């Protein structure tokens, strides 16, 4: 959409003499478009066929200036109107400044076409062309984004054409998009606008999602630069992303806008993000200087910031297999904490990395790490597997700084007397300490900080008493565990990712058939512990495999689990009718596999 060249005054004069005697400036251009196209020799670059039109649009976008002429191309995606017919489009132009010398409509597909206009200037002034539709409330482009509705230009006394709208400096086709990204990265400020260039996420099964936008900012425009192809959608595979999002200020105040790459199916899982953050709406002063990193540590369970002081023990170290005083960069004494010059660009990190380098967006390329004190740990699921995907979120700020959130879990063991057990003795010790008994010492006070406020008081005592009652009870059993494994495309290649779902017995209220079969199998668990899985004669086209575990407990033993069924690239279950009936019941109730697959399981019995 940017101007490729401005024609010379000599070329303008020749063209003016060539056409001015035949087309009066006060006649609406569309009346004489066909007549003029026959009398003026159009340059070879003007598209004059279906294939040429979409190739031209992919190369130059919506506007192109060359040889003293202006070419405007609208790529229109038809939507059904209320009358169940094709939407009607109207192109309006400013009269008296430009003459239309060519106009043609090219079919691209059953839902899309290109409408091409070529204009030549006849007098100085402002020129505007816009697309509207009386049957549609909003216009959508080829990819379903809001359509660019109008373009604006100025013509000077020498008949030089200059694009003057928002899109003059921004790309609207893939060629321009790639050039723009190399120069401006993902986030940039263009004039008085903040611009996000959203290209393909590096993670498979992920998509862009607006994560945050301060109230004093609004989205001014959004459009796609992705190449238009005749076989878009299913036949071309997952849609490539080359989107431009533009924001503008509506009032004064601090500015914060963030876009995240999230899991397509679980939007709460954020892989990484990009943000624009400034102290005011002038976009002059970033909240973080180049190379800075703002570290925030939150409690995984409550989402609240962890209370930190100089003695808490959270430290930033250089990455090393050995963490000692020689690798220490700094201790974290406030939360959040800004650490100057912590992040450094890495050359060649991404395929489009320029000589200036790219700020890493994943944890692996970072040259630093957080070391947490013994009182905390990386959050874990119910089976002790670390939730590393939920532990750390990296947001690149203004393309040159970091906003990193670490989520940690407090080890609330309750063992304040240091005997490696949590029992009534710990409760008595804490109560004596609160009463001011001089001979009472809390050897591990943090293990009783149930309020997570770095203060031990009567509130913690109440919560400790409740935790002790729960700990002394026989732990409830999760009846089933669904372990889903999926393949994801990352910077290190295809990696497996697990999503573990625990299905509690409370989920089966009023489902006596499921509960009774589960109890029957659990009571005879010895029968199944060494039983092999029976391969089924069907599989499911998928990117992984789901495993269904039955959780059980023998008398005086810790809970254990056994695989009763697998589903996905291969399907199998234990060779036992009770187990198979149970699996079918779970499928029919939507707990394991799609409910529509129940028939396939029944036929496999």
Domain boundaries, the chain: 9-169, 176-410, 424-459, 478-604
Identify the weakest region by mean pLDDT among 306-310, 368-372, 383-387, 509-513: 383-387
Residue 193 CA to residue 555 CA, distance in Å, equals 67
CB 374 within 8 Å of CB 408: no
Mean pLDDT of 544-554: 88
Given a contact cutoff of 8 angstroms between Cβ atoms, the answer to whether 201 and 208 are in contact is yes
Q: Which stretch, 127-141, 358-372, 486-500, 533-547, has highest mean pLDDT?
A: 358-372
Residue 80's pLDDT band, with cuts at 50, 70 and 90, is very low
Which range among 189-198, 294-303, 592-601 shows the weakest confidence by mean pLDDT? Answer: 592-601
The answer on pLDDT for 311 being more than 70 is yes
Find the angle CA(34)-CA(37)-CA(42) to the nearest 5 degrees.
155
Closest CA to 361 of 246, 244, 491, 257: 491
pLDDT of residue 27: 29
Which residue, among 333, 331, 303, has the nearest Cα to 406 in the 3D structure? 303
> Alpha-carbon distance 184 to 179, whole Å?
9
Considering Cα of 444, then 449, then 453, then 459, what sign does the dihedral take?
negative
Q: What is the pLDDT of residue 206?
A: 84
What does the pLDDT read at residue 351? 39
Reduced to 3 states (helix: H, G, I; strand: E, B; else coil), residue 415 is coil
Phi-psi region of 594 (alpha: psi -120 to 50; beta: other; left: phi over 0): beta
Structure tokens at 442: 């809390």
Lowest-pLDDT choice from 257-266, 332-341, 574-583: 257-266
Q: What is the pLDDT of residue 136?
A: 63
Q: Per-residue pLDDT tens for 88-142?
A: 788 999 999 999 999 999 987 766 788 999 999 999 999 999 988 776 655 655 4
Half-sphere exposure (CA, 13 Å, Cβ side) for 38? Answer: 4
Average pLDDT over residues 272-289: 96
Q: CA-to-CA distance for 18 and 68, rounded, in angstroms? A: 13
pLDDT for res 287:
96
489 confidence band (pLDDT: 50, 70, 90): low
pLDDT grade for 418, boundaries at 50, 70 and 90: confident
Residue 71 burial (CB count, 10 A): 22
pLDDT digits (tens, 9 = 90+) for 22-33: 333 332 333 334
The residue with greater pLDDT, 275 or 325, is 275
Q: What one-character-per-residue DSSP string does 190-252 give?
A: ETTEEEEEEE--SSTTEEEEEEEE-TTEEEEEEEE-PPP-TT-SGGG-SPP-EEEEEEEESSS
With tokens 């396939």, the residue in question is 600
Which residues make beta-bridge pairs with 102?
118
- Residue 295 CB burial class (10 angstroms; 0-12, 13-18, ≥19): buried
% of the chain surpassing 90 pLDDT:
43
How far, rounded to the nearest angstrom, does the alpha carbon of residue 539 sit from its chain's CA centroid?
31
Does the pLDDT at position 234 exceed 90? no
> Does the pLDDT value for residue 75 go beyond 60?
yes
The pLDDT value given to residue 170: 94
Q: What is the pLDDT of residue 233?
A: 39
pLDDT value, residue 473: 75
Q: Is the pTM of this model over 0.75?
A: no
Name which of 339, 335, 337 is nearest 306 in CA terms: 335
CA nearest 47: which of 128, 112, 127, 102?
102
Cα gap 429→450, rounded to integer Å? 16
Count the residues in the chain.
605
Q: What is the mean pLDDT of residues 54-59?
A: 91
* pLDDT the model gives residue 444: 81
Is residue 542 very low, low, confident or very high in pLDDT (cuts 50, 70, 90)?
A: low
CA pair distance 569, 499, nearest whole angstrom? 17
- The residue with greater pLDDT, 271 or 283, is 283
Q: Highest mean pLDDT range out of 168-177, 319-328, 495-504?
A: 168-177
How does pLDDT run across 352-403, given as a tens digit for each residue? 444 567 888 888 889 899 999 888 888 876 556 677 777 899 999 999 999 9
Q: Indicate the average pLDDT of the chain.
A: 82
pLDDT band at 16 (very low <50, low <70, confident <90, very high): very low
For residue 544, give the H/E element and its range: strand 544-552
DSSP state of 439: T
Whether the Cβ atoms of residue 546 and residue 485 lie closer than 8 Å to each other: yes
Residue 145, both tokens: 């984004």
| CB within 8 Å of 288: residues ≥ 6 apart | 277, 294, 338, 397, 398, 401, 402, 403
The residue among 567, 597, 471, 578 whose CA lies nearest residue 520 is 578
Burial class (CB in 10 A: 0-12, 13-18, 19+), 140: middle
Decide if 303 contacts 405 (C-beta within 8 A): no
Cα 310 to Cα 314: distance, rounded to the nearest angstrom: 9
pLDDT value of position 247: 97
CA pair distance 176, 377, nearest whole angstrom? 47
Query: Residue 34: is its pLDDT beyond 50?
Result: no
Distance CA 152, CA 554 (A): 77
Q: What is the pLDDT of residue 92?
A: 92
Q: How is residue 302 written in tokens?
A: 């409550």
Tokens of 219: 């989205």
The answer on pLDDT for 60 being more than 90 is yes
> Could you read off the pLDDT of 431-442 as tens digits, one per residue?
999 998 888 888
Give the model's pLDDT for residue 11: 41
Radius of gyration from C-alpha coordinates of the chain: 32
Q: Rounded to an integer, what distance in angstroms lies between the CA atom of residue 319 and that of residue 329? A: 10
Give the lowest-confidence range in 207-221, 490-504, 547-561: 490-504
Q: State how far the Cα of 121 lies from the Cα of 127, in Å rounded to an integer.
A: 9
Q: Residue 356's beta-bridge partner residues?
A: none
């Amino acid at each position: 959409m940017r101007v490729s060249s401005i024609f010379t005054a000599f070329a303008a004069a020749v063209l003016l003499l060539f056409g001015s005697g035949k087309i009066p400036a006060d006649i609406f251009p569309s009346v004489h478009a066909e007549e003029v196209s026959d009398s003026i020799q159009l340059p070879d670059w003007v598209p004059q066929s279906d294939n040429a039109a979409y190739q031209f649009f992919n190369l130059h976008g919506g506007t192109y200036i060359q040889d003293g002429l202006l070419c405007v191309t609208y790529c229109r995606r038809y939507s059904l109107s209320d009358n169940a017919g094709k939407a009607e489009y109207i192109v309006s132009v400013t009269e008296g400044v430009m003459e239309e010398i060519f106009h043609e409509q090219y079919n691209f597909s059953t839902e899309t076409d290109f409408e091409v206009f070529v204009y030549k200037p006849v007098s100085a002034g402002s020129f505007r062309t816009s697309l509207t539709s009386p049957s549609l409330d909003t216009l959508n482009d080829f990819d379903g984004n809001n359509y660019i509705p109008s373009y604006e230009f100025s013509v000077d006394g020498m008949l030089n054409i200059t694009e003057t709208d928002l899109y003059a400096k921004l790309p609207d086709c893939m060629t321009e998009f790639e050039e723009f990204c190399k120069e401006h990265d993902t986030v940039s400020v263009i004039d008085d606008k903040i611009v996000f260039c959203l290209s393909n996420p590096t993670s498979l099964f992920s998509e862009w999602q607006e994560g945050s936008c301060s109230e004093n900012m609004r989205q001014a425009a959004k459009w796609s630069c992705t190449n238009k192809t005749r076989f878009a959608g299913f036949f071309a595979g997952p849609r490539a992303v080359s989107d431009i999002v533009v924001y503008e200020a509506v009032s004064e105040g601090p500015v914060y806008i963030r876009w995240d790459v999230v899991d397509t199916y679980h939007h709460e899982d954020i892989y990484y993000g990009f943000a624009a953050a400034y102290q005011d709406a002038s976009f002059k002063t970033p909240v973080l200087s180049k190379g800075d990193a703002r570290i925030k540590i939150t409690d995984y369970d409550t989402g609240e910031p962890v209370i930190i002081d100089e003695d808490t023990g959270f430290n930033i170290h250089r990455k090393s297999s050995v963490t000692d005083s020689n690798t220490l960069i700094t201790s974290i004494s406030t939360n959040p904490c800004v650490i100057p010059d912590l992040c450094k660009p890495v050359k060649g990190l991404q395929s489009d990395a320029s000589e200036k380098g790219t700020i890493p967006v994943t944890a692996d390329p970072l040259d630093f790490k957080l070391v947490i004190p013994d009182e905390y740990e990386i959050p874990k699921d119910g089976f002790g597997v670390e939730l590393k995907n939920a532990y750390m979120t990296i947001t690149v700020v203004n393309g040159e700084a970091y906003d990193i959130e670490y989520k940690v879990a407090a080890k609330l063991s309750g063992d304040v007397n240091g005997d490696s057990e949590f029992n009534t003795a710990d409760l008595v010790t804490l109560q004596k300490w609160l009463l001011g008994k001089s001979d009472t010492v809390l050897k591990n006070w943090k293990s009783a900080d149930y309020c997570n406020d770095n203060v031990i008081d009567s509130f913690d005592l109440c919560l400790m008493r409740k935790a002790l009652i729960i700990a002394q009870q026989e732990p409830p059993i999760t009846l089933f565990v669904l372990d889903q494994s999926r393949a994801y495309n990352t910077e290190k290649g295809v990696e497996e990712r697990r999503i573990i779902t625990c299905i509690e017995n409370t989920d089966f209220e009023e489902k006596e058939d499921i509960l009774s079969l589960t109890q029957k199998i659990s009571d005879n668990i010895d029968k199944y512990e060494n039983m092999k899985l029976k391969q089924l004669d069907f599989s499911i086209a998928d990117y992984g495999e789901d495993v269904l575990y039955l959780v059980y407990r023998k008398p005086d033993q810790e809970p254990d689990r056994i695989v009763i069924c697998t589903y996905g690239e291969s399907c199998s279950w234990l060779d036992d009718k009770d187990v198979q009936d149970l699996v079918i019941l779970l499928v029919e109730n939507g707990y394991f596999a799609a409910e529509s697959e129940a028939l396939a399981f029944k036929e496999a019995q």
